[in-house]
């Protein structure tokens, strides 16, 4: 009887073990079907395997946000041609003023200008180059000269003399409606004619003649 009971007990334990194993197999297959992962049998007492290290995907390199280079080139009008224009010289006169000019044919032409202001009793002197820029400027007071018969004046500079060839503090000028004479140099009140001569001198010398406004 004891032998029969032992056999019965052993059979029962074997049946239970078989059922547990089958149940574990079913669970493993179910997990595989659901997750797609392979379940490995780990021996009892063994350390749980560490999950493989996964590298964090690096952020995709962003495009360099460098601002577009500013276009510093100036737009060129008139068919894309860069036409250099001379500077503008204002040679207008006010009431009570008279100007006298003289074109001087130097290696680089210049225009001598005397601006007479009878009311103020002054004369302004300037030398202008082909670009319309003053190379010398000065102001002198005017006083009638003795024995000049009303046409001779003493021009006394306020400061240094602007005339390179004349360093004197004052110069004598002969002034009429048409001309202003400084020694042998004669400037004329026919402004437009003399300025036209000056412009042609600049062109002949290969220099850009400024646009002059009266």
Block residue for tokens 């964090």: 56
Task: Look at the alpha carbons of 67, 72, 77, 81 in this order and tell me if their dihedral is positive or negative.
Answer: negative
pLDDT band at 5 (very low <50, low <70, confident <90, very high): very low
For range 30-57, the mean pLDDT? 48
Percent of the chain exceeding pLDDT 70 equals 59
Which pLDDT belongs to residue 150? 86
Q: Which of the listed ranges 36-45, 97-106, 148-157, 163-172 does the model predict with the highest average pLDDT?
A: 97-106
Which pLDDT belongs to residue 89? 75
208 neighbors 131 (Cβ within 8 angstroms): yes
For range 158-187, the mean pLDDT? 93
- Which two tokens mark 78? 């008139």
Which pLDDT belongs to residue 92? 87
Reply yes or no on whether the pLDDT at 28 is more than 90.
no
Reply yes or no on whether the pLDDT at 82 is more than 50.
no
Residue 188: count of CB within 10 angstroms of its CB: 15
Q: State how beta strands 211-213 and 88-90 pair.
A: parallel
pLDDT band at 87 (very low <50, low <70, confident <90, very high): low
Which pLDDT belongs to residue 6? 44
Q: What is the mean pLDDT of the chain?
A: 74
Q: Is pTM beyond 0.75 here?
A: no
DSSP 164: T
Between CA 197 and CA 102 the distance in angstroms is 9
* Residue from 162, 159, 160, 103 nearest 135 by CA: 162
Comparing 134 with 41, which gets the higher pLDDT?
134
Between CA 84 and CA 81 the distance in angstroms is 9
For range 122-149, the mean pLDDT? 92
Task: Look at the alpha carbons of 13, 15, 19, 22 in this order and tell me if their dihedral is positive or negative.
Answer: positive
For residue 180, the cross-strand partners are: 175, 187
pLDDT band at 164 (very low <50, low <70, confident <90, very high): confident
Block residue for tokens 């280079």: 69
pLDDT band at 59 (very low <50, low <70, confident <90, very high): low
């Amino acid at each position: 009887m004891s032998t029969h009971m032992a056999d019965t007990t052993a059979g029962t334990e074997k049946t239970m073990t078989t059922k547990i194993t089958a149940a574990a197999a079913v669970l493993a297959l179910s997990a595989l079907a659901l997750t797609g992962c392979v379940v490995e049998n780990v021996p009892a007492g063994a350390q749980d395997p560490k999950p493989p290290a996964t590298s964090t995907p690096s952020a995709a390199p962003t495009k360099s946000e460098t601002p577009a280079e500013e276009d510093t080139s100036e737009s060129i009008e008139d068919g894309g041609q860069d036409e250099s224009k001379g500077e503008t010289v204002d040679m207008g006169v006010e009431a009570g003023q008279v100007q006298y000019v003289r074109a001087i044919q130097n290696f680089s032409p210049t225009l001598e200008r005397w601006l007479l202001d009878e009311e103020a009793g002054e004369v302004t002197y300037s030398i202008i180059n082909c670009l319309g820029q003053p190379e010398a400027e000065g102001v002198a007071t005017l006083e009638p000269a003795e024995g000049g018969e009303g046409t001779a004046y003493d021009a006394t500079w306020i400061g240094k003399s602007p005339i390179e060839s004349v360093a004197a503090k004052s110069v004598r000028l002969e002034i009429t409606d048409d001309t202003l004479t400084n020694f042998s140099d004669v400037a004329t009140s026919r402004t437009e004619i003399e300025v036209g001569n000056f412009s042609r001198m600049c062109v002949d010398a290969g220099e850009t003649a400024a646009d002059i406004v009266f």
